């Protein structure tokens, strides 16, 4: 990879990390499509390595604002959804599943924006986790289903919850990639090179977070979730 490509990849990671550190999610949504165009070797492993520190910084800053017990329930649902998603990929194929995931996200955003209140009951936590795991394993979108569930929460609670969930999910994903032989030393090296940009992106949130926390977190969450669903559908149309 040329120095120019590395600089461009670092810039992408900086912007993506600033968005996630401010809203609670979105790093993969923004970074992965751009990194694939720069060099396919940068995803998925290196991108996950790069944001590992970002997720921990989110936990350190906002983790105290959220309760861990509901998150354990979400993680149980996410594990089940991931298994179902992998099995569905072999039976239905990626295009049909991406259509389902993108449409589901847009419908959920529309209902939430229209005033639907989704209570964080145990059943809903498991369901959101399952949809998140299903979406992450089939279309690369795991954040929006969880973000919609927390759309009525304050900014610190959303960011803290996402930080915990992404930290655990990141470890599981990296372990799986390593065991499968997809993540090697070169990939880890690229991820570590991009990691400082992710840290710098988090640093930029000190100016963005205070603005969002003045009642603008919910619109930001719903807008980014809608963009995620639309991106999947546009990708299908273009493919």
DSSP for 13-26?
Answer: HHHHHHHHHHHS--
Does the pLDDT of residue 143 top 90, yes or no?
no
What is the residue range of 191's domain? 3-238
More confident residue, 70 or 173: 70
Q: What is the DSSP letter of 180?
A: T
Per-residue pLDDT tens for 73-109? 999 998 898 888 878 877 777 777 778 878 888 888 8
Domain count, the chain: 1
Per-residue pLDDT tens for 179-235? 878 889 999 999 999 999 999 999 999 999 999 999 898 899 889 988 888 887 887
Grade residue 239 by pLDDT with cuts at 50, 70 and 90: low
Per-residue pLDDT tens for 37-73? 899 899 888 998 999 999 999 999 999 999 988 999 9
Are the C-beta atoms of 199 and 21 separated by less than 8 Å? Answer: no
Query: How many CB atoms are located within 10 Å of the residue 176 CB?
Result: 12
Q: Kindly calculate the radius of gyration of the chain based on its CA atoms and give it in whole angstroms.
A: 17
**pTM for the structure as a whole:** 0.85
Does the pLDDT of residue 156 top 90, yes or no?
yes
Peptide bond into 44 cis (omega under 30): yes
The pLDDT > 90 percentage for the chain reads 45
């Amino acid at each position: 990879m040329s120095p120019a490509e590395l600089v461009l990849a670092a810039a992408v990671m900086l912007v993506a990390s600033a968005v996630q550190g401010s809203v609670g999610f979105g790093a993969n949504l923004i970074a992965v499509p751009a990194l694939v165009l720069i060099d396919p070797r940068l995803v998925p492993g290196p991108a996950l390595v790069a944001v590992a520190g970002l997720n921990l910084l989110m936990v350190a800053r906002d983790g105290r604002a959220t309760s861990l017990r509901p998150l354990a329930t979400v993680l149980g649902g996410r594990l089940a959804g991931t298994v179902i998603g992998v099995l569905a990929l072999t039976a239905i194929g990626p295009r049909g599943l991406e259509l389902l995931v993108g449409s589901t996200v847009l419908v959920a955003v529309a209902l939430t924006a229209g005033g639907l209140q989704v209570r964080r009951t145990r059943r809903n936590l498991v369901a959101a986790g399952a949809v998140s795991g299903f979406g992450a394993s089939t279309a690369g979108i795991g954040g929006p289903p969880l973000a919609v569930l927390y759309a009525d929460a304050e900014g610190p609670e959303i960011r803290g919850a996402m930080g915990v969930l992404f930290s655990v999910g990141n470890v599981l994903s990296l372990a799986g990639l390593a065991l499968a032989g997809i993540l090697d030393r070169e990939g880890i090296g690229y991820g570590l090179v991009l990691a400082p940009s992710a840290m710098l992106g988090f640093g930029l949130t000190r100016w963005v977070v205070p603005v969002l926390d003045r009642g603008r977190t919910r619109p930001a969450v719903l807008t980014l979730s809608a963009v995620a669903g639309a991106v999947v559908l546009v990708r299908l149309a273009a493919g």
